[in-house]
Amino acid sequence: MHETTPSATLSPVEIHLGERSYNIVIGGGLLGSLDSYAGLPHAKTALIVTNETVAPLYLQTLADALKGQYPVVGQVVLPDGEVYKTWATLNLIFDALLEQGCDRRTVLFALGGGVVGDMTGFAAASYMRGVPFVQVPTTLLAQVDSSVGGKTGINHPLGKNMIGAFYQPQRVICDLDTLKTLPERELSAGLAEVIKYGPIADAVFLDWIESNLDKLRARDPVALAFAIRRSCEIKAHVVGADEREAGLRAILNFGHTFGHAIEAGMGYGQWLHGEAVGCGMVMAARLSQRLGLIDAAYVDRLTRLIERAGLPVVAPVLDALDNAGRYLALMRVDKKVEAGEIKFVLIDGSGRAIVRSAPDSVVTEVIQASCRQ
Ligand SMILES: NC(=O)c1ccc[n+]([C@@H]2O[C@H](COP(=O)([O-])OP(=O)(O)OC[C@H]3O[C@@H](n4cnc5c(N)ncnc54)[C@H](O)[C@@H]3O)[C@@H](O)[C@H]2O)c1
Ligand SMILES: O=C(O)C(=O)C[C@@H](O)[C@H](O)[C@H](O)COP(=O)(O)O
Ligand SMILES: [Zn+2]
């Protein structure tokens, strides 16, 4: 671990959504800095939503900083884990909002990874039909992806993120220092979503990730800051062009059609989201190759990078008797499905993604070639 994190805040990344526009602030030491939280219109009280792992690390620092801005700063500490991204946990947030007398002038602060961020955003979208919220992401995955773009929600046993709302935060505050305490496995999970942006949107960034992966895994602060900023720029551009996924935004789902099937099929939390997406990108690349969009060398290149990031590249068997059938059934619950037809995010090797269906027979071949049997 390097000692120094860039202390100067980088210039914010702006996400342009008309009256819902906001900034993504990236830098070291932001959690305790009053400047990060200033200027939220109409907000009078704050409620921090976090979990039992993040609370002992960062709750006090954030609460102390917010006390300089808000006369009342409440908190609610949720159980930790993807398995708790449920109605029951969401209700704990609503219980806290009501018990602590929160009203329409309350702003929620989501302090944690993507699970806390997605649930806090959904609670903010629903409480009193909508209160403001701020994302304070503390995992790499949340800083490069989940805190940006306004997809909020919870899982259903039959499908990932199946219940939710598009609801944008007022601001995103990425404190790079929080990544110092992130477990290795979680850092790798975050790298999956960083890698994702290369094949779908920026071939030069993919080259850069390949050259700098060792630095990223060693948590070199300059490399991490660049990767987070570039990832946020790409996501901000895509979301700015297609906020509610009418078309372009689906490219951010590269690796997720297979990945979400792995998460739901294994049971949430067995594989981390980033792990499932990493392996799902290998499967989507193989499908792209079988459909003639890329060559074997590109599949090998991406597979090698994902493996180097510490992510699984061999898919799990979800059903000993009918594995491909189980994958297909799970993928039919995907939000991109239209009239029963699964849409896959495929790549053409030039830093561009294509969203289209594929014959079940070809998808079955890919699943069989990807799973350890
Ligand atoms: N809304 C979106 O656009 C979007 C995008 C990508 C992923 N997601 C969702 O995000 C979730 C995955 O997010 P995640 O990878 O952040 O997982 P997570 O929220 O479960 O966090 C990972 C683990 O790290 C711990 N943690 C968080 N910050 C820490 C820190 N600084 N130091 C030590 N431990 C820390 C957490 O308590 C947890 O145990 C999934 O539910 C996924 O569906 C949403
Ligand atoms: O922001 C998006 O759009 C994404 O697809 C980002 C994904 O990394 C993220 O996992 C998202 O939650 C998946 O979206 P979903 O609509 O398939 O649940
Ligand atoms: Zn994702």
Q: In this predicted structure, what is the pLDDT of residue 44?
A: 87
Six-digit token string for 49: 């939503």
13-181 architecture in CATH? 3-Layer(aba) Sandwich (3.40)
First CA to last CA across the chain, in angstroms?
38
Task: Determine the atom of ligand 2 nearest the C-alpha atom of 336.
Answer: 17
Q: Whose CA is nearest to atom 6 of ligand 2?
A: 252
Arithmetic mean of pLDDT, 154-169: 96
b/e map of 360-370 (b: 16 or more CB within 10 Å)? eeebeebbeeb
Distance 4 CA to ligand 2 centre (A): 32
pLDDT band at 34 (very low <50, low <70, confident <90, very high): confident
Question: Residue 178 C-alpha to ligand 3 middle, in angstroms?
Answer: 20
Q: Is the Cβ atom of 274 under 6 angstroms away from ligand 1?
A: yes
Query: What integer pLDDT is reported at residue 75 of this predicted model?
Result: 98
In the predicted structure, residue 5 carries a pLDDT above the cut 90:
no
Is 196 a pocket residue for ligand 2 (Cβ < 6 Å)? no
**pLDDT, position 25:** 96
Provide the CATH topology of domain 184-370.
Dehydroquinate synthase-like, alpha domain (1.20.1090)
Question: Nearest residue CA, atom 6 of ligand 1?
Answer: 146
Q: State pLDDT tens for residues 233-290.
A: 999 999 999 999 999 999 999 999 999 999 999 999 999 999 999 999 999 999 999 9
Binding residues for NAD(+): 80-85, 114-118, 138-139, 151, 160, 178-181
> Residue positions in the annotated binding site for Zn(2+)?
193, 256, 273
Using one digit for the tens of pLDDT, what is the confidence trace for 334-353?
999 999 999 999 999 999 99
Predicted local confidence at residue 354, as pLDDT:
97
pLDDT, averaged across the chain: 95
* DSSP conformation class of 12: P
Nearest ligand for residue 117 CA? 1
Helix (H/G/I), strand (E/B), else coil: 159: strand
Does pLDDT of 12 surpass 50?
Answer: yes
**Confidence at residue 132, expressed as pLDDT on a 0 to 100 scale:** 96
Residue 4 has pLDDT above 50, yes or no: no
Per-residue pLDDT, averaged over 313-339, amounts to: 96
pLDDT score of 310: 98
Helices 221-241, 203-217: crossing angle, 10 deg rounding: 140
Here the ipTM equals 0.99
Domain ranges in the chain with CATH number 3.40.50.1970: 13-181
For residue 334, give the ligand 2 atom closest to its CA.
17
Looking at the annotation, which residues are catalytic? 129, 151, 193, 235, 245, 249, 253, 256, 260, 273
**Ligand 1 midpoint to CA 290 (Å):** 33
- pLDDT over threshold 90, residue 308: yes
Counting ligand 1 atoms within 8 A of each CB, the residue from 15, 51, 53 with the most, and so the one to mutate, is: 53
Gap from CA of 118 to ligand 1 centroid (Å): 9
Which part of the chain has CATH 1.20.1090.10? 184-370
pLDDT surpassing 70 at residue 13: yes
Pick the closest to residue 113 from 269, 303, 270 (CA basis). 269
On the question of pLDDT at 7 being above 70, the answer is no
Has residue 42 got a pLDDT over 90?
no
Percent of the chain at pLDDT above 70?
A: 97
Using alpha carbons only, give the angle 223, 226, 232 rounded to the nearest 5 degrees: 140
pLDDT score of 2 more than 50: no
Nearest ligand (C-alpha, residue 53): 1
Query: For position 313, what pLDDT does the model report?
Result: 98
3-state secondary structure string, 93-136?
HHHHHHHCCCCCCEEEEEEECHHHHHHHHHHHHHHHHCCCEEEE
Write down the pLDDT at residue 43: 80
Q: Which atom of ligand 2 is nearest to the CA of 162?
A: 18
